């Protein structure tokens, strides 16, 4: 059963269908692995064995009766601790929401239940999801699979760790500025950011609702596509026959290559060469829309985040990790007129960007321009924290600002990812392209 823990979700689903794996035995294998793991309490904020066993038993009964609900029926996954779970605390990584127990599951969790997925529990995250580092001294900082002294990336930090350490077959996270893609990249996983509004946010603790998105972390593009379909309650995208032959890809050079560290740069350039060798046509792209939009992040993100949580924060500010509290407070004095003007200008820039990239199948860039920073130094060096946090989220934020869907793929170099950005609403097309890219990079 040990080998089950490293299998893809799709492979597990096929084995269940072939009656080679029993969903109850599979769930027990994961629960035993979680219980035995030294970093269990740094990864899971809450393990839910009773719920997991009940859902696995129902999946096993359906499998025996030939009434499986889909390929992932009976496959165990983890959920970031901002998805409401009925009767189990959902605290979004902050002491300010301690004891918050919702009465109903989030909509996407209900969709997953309807497809037969097994809920193993909730995973630790950056406080209120407002950091790309994954450092959280208030609750817990999960480990990075490639460096025990480094942060794992955030804010879906525990989500990535459950997959990287064999403690779930899939993980559901959220992405407001890179929170699915960064931990995926730093832990050598696939991370899929959906377009804003593509998946329902009912029952998801918000950060900046106009940018918030739900997305899966996975061991393969196929798994990401299947999990996306489950969350949406729609058929899975068709990935069969995906190819890079003749696909036009734009390699963005504006902003995203500035100050990039050596390992991510080398990994990205080598990956682009492999995509070209597989038949893709790659052209360099400069986009003034990106250069203009990036400095607007401070107005757009912090004001919406502070408007959402300011009263809660100021009621007990000392309960928060200082750097994240101060990041929220960056939006405290933003004028409403400036926020409205920024959004109006961003819509113009988005239209210009979409026109500029309309002839390409995707836009390429390094997922993160840096490597996972050291946790101890982040705790004691304020300048290092600010610099690394902003740099970490810089490239991924391009996708959020431009309204794109995006996927991060492993490059084969530890903690270095390559990102493909697609058109808003183009999830199925992007996943098909990503499947072909994954094969070229394998």
Token reading at 316:
């007990």
Which of 157, 174, 179, 404 is labelled catalytic?
A: 179
What is the chain's pLDDT, residue by residue, as a tens digit (442 residues)? Answer: 889 999 999 999 999 999 999 999 999 999 999 999 999 999 999 999 999 999 999 999 999 999 999 999 999 999 999 999 999 999 999 999 999 999 999 999 999 999 999 999 999 999 999 999 999 999 999 999 999 999 999 999 999 999 999 999 999 999 999 999 999 999 999 999 999 999 999 999 999 999 999 999 999 999 999 999 999 999 999 999 999 999 999 999 999 999 999 999 999 999 999 999 999 999 999 999 999 999 999 999 999 999 999 999 999 999 999 999 999 999 999 999 999 999 999 999 999 999 999 999 999 999 999 999 999 999 999 999 989 998 999 999 999 999 999 999 999 999 999 999 999 999 999 999 999 999 999 9
Q: Give DSSP secondary structure letters for 292-312.
A: HHGGGHHHHHHHHHHHHHHHH
- Pick from 94, 157, 123, 88: nearest CA to 373: 157
268: Cβ contacts below 8 Å, ≥ 6 apart: 260, 364, 365, 366, 411, 416, 418
Give the pTM: 0.98
Token reading at 406:
């995006």
Which of 155, 404, 408, 415 is labelled catalytic?
A: 155
- Domains in the chain with CATH codes: 2-232 (3.90.1300.10), 248-296+320-441 (3.90.1300.10)
User: Is residue 155 among the annotated active site residues?
Assistant: yes
User: Is residue 195 among the annotated active site residues?
Assistant: no
Which of 80, 122, 156, 415 is labelled catalytic?
A: 80
User: Is residue 220 among the annotated active site residues?
Assistant: no
């Amino acid at each position: 059963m040990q080998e089950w823990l490293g299998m893809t979700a799709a492979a597990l689903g096929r084995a269940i269908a072939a009656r080679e794996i029993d969903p109850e035995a599979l769930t027990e294998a994961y629960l035993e692995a979680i219980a035995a793991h030294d970093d269990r309490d740094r990864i899971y904020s809450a393990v839910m064995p009773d719920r997991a066993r009940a859902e696995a038993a129902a999946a096993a009964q359906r499998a025996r009766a030939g009434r499986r609900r889909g390929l992932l029926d009976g496959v165990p996954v983890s959920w970031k601790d901002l998805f409401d779970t009925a009767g189990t605390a959902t605290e979004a990584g902050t002491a300010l929401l301690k004891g918050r127990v919702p009465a109903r599951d989030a909509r996407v969790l209900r969709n997953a239940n309807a497809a037969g997925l097994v809920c193993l529990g909730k995973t630790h995250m950056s406080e209120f999801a407002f950091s790309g580092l994954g450092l959280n001294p208030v609750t817990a900082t999960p480990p990075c699979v490639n460096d025990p002294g480094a942060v794992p990336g955030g804010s879906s930090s525990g989500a990535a760790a459950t997959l990287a350490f064999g403690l779930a077959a899939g993980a559901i996270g959220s992405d407001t500025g890179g929170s699915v893609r960064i931990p995926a990249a730093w832990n050598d996983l696939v991370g899929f950011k959906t377009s804003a509004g593509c998946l329902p946010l009912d029952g998801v603790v918000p950060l900046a609702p106009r940018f918030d998105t739900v997305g899966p972390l996975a061991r393969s593009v196929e798994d990401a596509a299947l999990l996306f379909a489950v969350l949406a309650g729609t058929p899975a995208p068709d990935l069969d026959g995906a190819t890079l032959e003749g696909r036009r890809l734009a390699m963005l050079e504006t902003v995203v290559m500035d100050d990039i560290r050596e390992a991510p740069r080398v990994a990205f350039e080598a990956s682009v060469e492999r995509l070209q060798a597989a038949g893709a046509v790659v052209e360099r792209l400069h986009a003034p829309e990106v250069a203009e939009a990036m400095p607007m992040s401070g107005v757009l993100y912090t004001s919406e985040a502070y408007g959402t949580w300011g009263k809660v924060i100021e009621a007990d500010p000392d309960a928060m990790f200082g750097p994240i509290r101060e990041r929220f407070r960056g939006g405290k004095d933003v004028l409403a007129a400036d926020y409205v003007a920024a959004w109006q200008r961003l819509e113009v820039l988005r239209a210009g960007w979409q026109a500029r990239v309309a002839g390409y199948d995707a836009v390429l860039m390094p997922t993160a321009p840096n490597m996972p920073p050291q946790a101890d130094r982040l705790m004691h060096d304020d300048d290092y924290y600010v610099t690394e946090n902003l740099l970490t989220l810089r490239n991924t934020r391009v996708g959020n600002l431009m309204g794109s869907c995006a996927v991060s793929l492993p490059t084969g170099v530890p903690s270095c990812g390559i990102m493909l950005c697609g058109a808003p609403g183009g999830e199925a097309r992007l996943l098909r392209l990503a499947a072909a890219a994954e094969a070229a990079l394998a």
